[in-house]
């Protein structure tokens, strides 16, 4: 120790060096740059509010995305540690804790791999959605998305997960002021990757989040159509998808009194954005749903009678 240095001098030096190191990690300039990039990831996500870095964490905010490592619990204990019936399989799954960073790169890819898990997605859906009809709609959209992933060369599991959870918050937060905004907040808190969150946000036209990737375009194209195809099956004598044809679905779309809550424009525009013919799109999704007709409860009354 240098002569003349007191205990207090040494203490000040150690503290000064510690503060300097911390300042280098979370300096205002670096943090502002990171949060500006984060803000640009979701244009329109704050419904017209200021999307500057202050909304994501800055020197004036305690939140510091991209800096701190955090442990994100994803086990829905509030739901009784059970994930509900998984397409009549009756399986129950639990999701462990995922240690991750909110930065891009290797940790981001690792997190995507962990969260692109159908069991995790099903647990999330059943935690927030008790309605059987909403769960079946999620399964229908998932089936369409998986089929399109195979056709377009996408990640089938990723596309399926997005289809499965796209409306997971709707039962609890059905209003346009909440859905899918609340869902996005929940996904962010639990560490779901940006790719999935942005796709979920983009499926609602009024959020203003643009659909830029094949994944996002496919979700928008399949969502309303899956609901409409279901409605077409339910009015058939046997209430089965086997009785539904693409031409009859197209014809029903012209009947404004039928399933009036389904936005026909979304179906038409969705197919166009995806670059497929409308009737071809209808036939494609219809076949995808027929493959899981039993899980959707649309295998028909005749099929049910044979099993009893």
Q: How far apart are CA 121 and CA 302, in angstroms?
A: 32
Tell me: do 135 and 63 sit in the same domain: no
Tell me: do 155 and 302 sit in the same domain: yes
In a domain, 80, yes or no: no
Instruction: Give the pLDDT means over successive 10-residue stretches in the chain (308 positions).
Output: 46 38 36 36 41 29 30 31 45 33 45 68 98 98 98 98 98 97 98 97 96 98 98 97 97 95 96 97 98 96 54
DSSP class of residue 242 equals G
Tell me: do 134 and 257 sit in the same domain: yes
Tell me: do 158 and 296 sit in the same domain: yes
For helices 132-152 and 118-128, what crossing angle results, to 10°? Answer: 150
In a domain, 72, yes or no: no
Q: Which pLDDT value is given to residue 13?
A: 39
Q: Which pLDDT value is given to residue 236?
A: 97
Tell me: do 163 and 20 sit in the same domain: no
Q: Which pLDDT value is given to residue 57?
A: 29
The pTM assigned to this predicted structure is 0.67
Tell me: do 42 and 138 sit in the same domain: no
Domain-ending residue, one of 41, 67, 93: 67
Tell me: do 140 and 232 sit in the same domain: yes
Domain-ending residue, one of 40, 67, 94: 67
In a domain, 37, yes or no: yes
H or E segment and range at residue 99: strand 98-101
Domain-ending residue, one of 19, 48, 67: 67
Tens digits of per-residue pLDDT, 123-162? 999 999 999 999 999 999 999 999 999 999 999 999 999 9
Tell me: do 55 and 186 sit in the same domain: no
In a domain, 85, yes or no: no
CB 183 within 8 A of CB 200: yes
Under the phi-then-psi rule, with left for phi > 0, alpha for psi from -120 to 50, and beta for the rest, what region is 241? alpha
Our count of domains for the chain comes to: 2
Q: Which of 144, 173, 182 is nearest to 286 (CA)?
A: 144
Tell me: do 32 and 149 sit in the same domain: no
In a domain, 76, yes or no: no
**Maximum separation of any 2 CA atoms in the chain, in Å:** 98
Q: Which of 212, 228, 236 is nearest to 265 (CA)?
A: 228
Q: How far apart are CA 239 and CA 297, in angstroms?
A: 9
- Domain carrying residue 289: 130-307
Q: Which pLDDT value is given to residue 48?
A: 36
Tell me: do 146 and 1 sit in the same domain: no
Q: Which pLDDT value is given to residue 63?
A: 33
Q: How far apart are CA 43 and CA 245, in angstroms?
A: 39
CA distances from 300 to 41, 120, 292 (A): 44, 30, 12
Q: Which pLDDT value is given to residue 300?
A: 83
In a domain, 90, yes or no: no
In a domain, 204, yes or no: yes
Q: How many residues does the chain have?
A: 308
Tell me: do 43 and 142 sit in the same domain: no
Q: How far apart are CA 96 and CA 181, in angstroms?
A: 25
Tell me: do 197 and 303 sit in the same domain: yes
3-class secondary-structure state, position 69: strand
In a domain, 110, yes or no: no
Q: How far apart are CA 227 and CA 246, in angstroms?
A: 14
């Amino acid at each position: 120790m240098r002569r003349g240095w007191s205990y207090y001098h040494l203490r000040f030096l150690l503290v000064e060096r510690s503060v300097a190191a911390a300042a280098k990690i979370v300096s205002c300039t670096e943090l502002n740059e990171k949060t500006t990039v984060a803000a640009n990831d979701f244009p329109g996500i704050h419904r017209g509010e200021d999307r500057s870095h202050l909304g994501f964490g800055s020197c004036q905010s305690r939140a510091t995305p991209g800096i701190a490592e955090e442990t994100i619990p994803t086990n829905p204990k509030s739901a009784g540690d059970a994930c509900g019936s998984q397409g009549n399989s009756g399986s129950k799954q639990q999701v462990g804790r995922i240690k991750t960073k909110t930065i891009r790169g290797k940790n981001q890819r690792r997190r995507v791999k962990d969260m692109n898990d159908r069991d995790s997605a099903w647990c999330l859906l059943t935690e927030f959605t008790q309605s059987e009809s909403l769960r079946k709609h999620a399964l229908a959209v998932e089936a369409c998305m998986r089929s399109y992933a195979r056709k377009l060369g996408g990640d089938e599991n990723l596309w399926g997960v997005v289809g499965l959870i796209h409306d997971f918050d709707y039962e609890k937060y059905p209003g346009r002021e909440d859905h899918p905004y609340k869902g996005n907040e929940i996904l962010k808190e639990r560490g779901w990757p940006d790719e999935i969150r942005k796709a979920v946000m983009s499926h609602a036209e009024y959020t203003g989040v643009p659909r830029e990737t094949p994944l996002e375009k496919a979700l928008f194209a399949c969502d309303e159509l899956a609901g409409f195809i279901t409605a077409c099956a339910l009015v058939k004598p046997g209430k089965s998808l086997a009785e539904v044809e693409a031409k009859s679905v197209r014809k029903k779309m012209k009947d404004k009194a039928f399933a009036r809550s389904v936005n026909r424009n979304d179906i038409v525009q969705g197919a166009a954005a995806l670059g497929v013919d409308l009737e071809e799109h209808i036939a494609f999704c219809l076949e995808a749903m027929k493959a899981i007709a039993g899980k959707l409860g649309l295998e028909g009354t005749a099929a049910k009678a044979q099993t009893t």
